[in-house]
Amino acid sequence: MSVRKIGILGGGQLGQMLGLAAIPLDLECVFYDPAPDAPARVAGRHVCAAWDDLDALARFADEVDVVTFEFENVPTKSLAAVAARRAVHPGLRSLELTCDRIREKEFLRDAGVPVQPFAAVSTTADMDLALAAVGTHGVLKTRSLGYDGKGQRVVRSAAELAPAWDALGRAPSIYEAFVPFDREVSVVATRGADGACVVYPVVENLHTQGILFRSIAPAPISDLLAHAAERYARQVLEGLGHIGTLALEMFVADGTIIANEIAPRVHNSGHWTIQGARTSQFENHMRAVAGLPLGDTGAPEPAAMINLIGGLPPLSEILAIPGTNAQFYGKAPRAGRKVGHVNVVAPTRELLAMRLADLEHVARIHNRLA
């Protein structure tokens, strides 16, 4: 069946960028999101209805040829209602395994991707077992939900684990060994319906208060580590039978790669691909969902991305820096909220570093994290 109309569950900035990427491909997007001011509404028809409105979900599914999602916290019942009427790409397996951090870590381990020691914490009795298995320096995270540093606590001694769990509302959690990393990196990759996989250059990420602030491509790591990271991304795509784009977030620690988590969708650390790669992560996702051949992921020049968090600088200040492209999401500024991003490219790493320093200065003046 020829795909012309794609339904997207979620209407945030990722949906907005998916919709914009679909237009040159002559694909139409319909977004389902309960928020009346959903950023994606500028890029396609917006169905504004509650996640538990099964009639609205049925009408949405019947209107489109195939469905995808722009965030992984779509309620299970909502997704099941849509999947009963239309194919969903990526498949439910990608969502089910990555929305639970225990299942996700078990999948990574079984797929041959290195992970840190971890243990489940669901009862008081689990805490002693977790400390014995993982150690006294770790990170406690809720098994589901949570992003941009939310839903987690760092634990530095055995005595801190119980208070950390209390702070998370005693929700079912995962306790992971703390990784003293040298760098945080990620790799974005896409798999088509025919099994073909394409991988973007590994990027180095910098987080501030748990929120991604900056990504640089390619990451300043050895070819050996870069090839390992790309190989692990392919193993994840194939192990999930994933159709579409995903990101594998990892640590570089003591000369090795350790996987942290999977984002089963287009990802913030891949925004640089809009200007920095021959085919953006958003276009490749839409190509995969529509059953089209995947595009070239090569990056002609060094590139970087800066998130605009909580506030927007004057556009004139951004565009005065050579090589920049800005995208504002149409979201009201609020502390800790991603309201836009800026991409920057340059012919050399040295020139990119200079432009990036100027851009970071402008962004930090207006960013509000808390």
Lookup: tokens for 267: 């990802």
Are 4 and 27 within 8 A, CB to CB?
yes
Per-residue model confidence (pLDDT) at position 363: 95
- For domain 117-177, the question of CATH label 3.30.1490.20 is answered with yes
The pLDDT > 70 percentage for the chain reads 98
Residue 124 CB-half CA count within 13 A: 2
Banded model confidence at residue 147, pLDDT cuts 50, 70, 90: low
Per-residue model confidence (pLDDT) at position 96: 86
**CA–CA distance, 187 with 113 (Å, rounded to integer):** 13
**CA–CA distance, 276 with 297 (Å, rounded to integer):** 9
**Closest to 296 in 3D by CA, of 157, 231, 199, 225:** 199
Residue 352 pLDDT greater than 70, yes or no: yes
pTM comes to 0.94
Lookup: tokens for 231: 């190989």
5 backbone dihedrals φ, ψ, rounded to 5°: -125, 125
For 218-358, where are the E strands, in sequence order?
A: 244-253, 256-263, 303-309, 324-328, 338-345
Residue 148 pLDDT greater than 80, yes or no: no
**CA–CA distance, 72 with 97 (Å, rounded to integer):** 11
Report domain extents, the chain. Answer: 5-88, 117-177, 183-366
User: 5-88, what's its fold?
Assistant: Rossmann fold (3.40.50)
Give tens-digit pLDDT for 311-337: 999 999 999 999 999 999 999 999 999
Are 288 and 190 within 8 A, CB to CB?
yes
Are 74 and 52 within 8 A, CB to CB?
no
User: 183-366, what's its fold?
Assistant: D-amino Acid Aminotransferase; Chain A, domain 1 (3.30.470)
Banded model confidence at residue 369, pLDDT cuts 50, 70, 90: confident
Partners of residue 340 on adjacent β-strands: 308, 328
**CA–CA distance, 21 with 274 (Å, rounded to integer):** 9
Residue 144 pLDDT greater than 90, yes or no: no
Banded model confidence at residue 53, pLDDT cuts 50, 70, 90: very high
Banded model confidence at residue 299, pLDDT cuts 50, 70, 90: very high
Per-residue model confidence (pLDDT) at position 73: 82
Mean pLDDT of 84-102: 92
Mean pLDDT of 266-277: 98
**CA–CA distance, 364 with 136 (Å, rounded to integer):** 35
How many degrees, rounded to 5, is the angle at CA 236 between CA 151 and CA 222?
90
Residue 1 pLDDT greater than 80, yes or no: no
Give tens-digit pLDDT for 230-264: 999 999 999 999 999 999 999 999 999 999 999 99
Partners of residue 198 on adjacent β-strands: 190
Place of tokens 């003591």: 254
Residue 149 pLDDT greater than 60, yes or no: no
Are 305 and 291 within 8 A, CB to CB?
no
Partners of residue 6 on adjacent β-strands: 29, 66
Give tens-digit pLDDT for 59-88: 999 999 999 999 888 888 898 899 999 999
Per-residue model confidence (pLDDT) at position 46: 98
Are 176 and 116 within 8 A, CB to CB?
yes
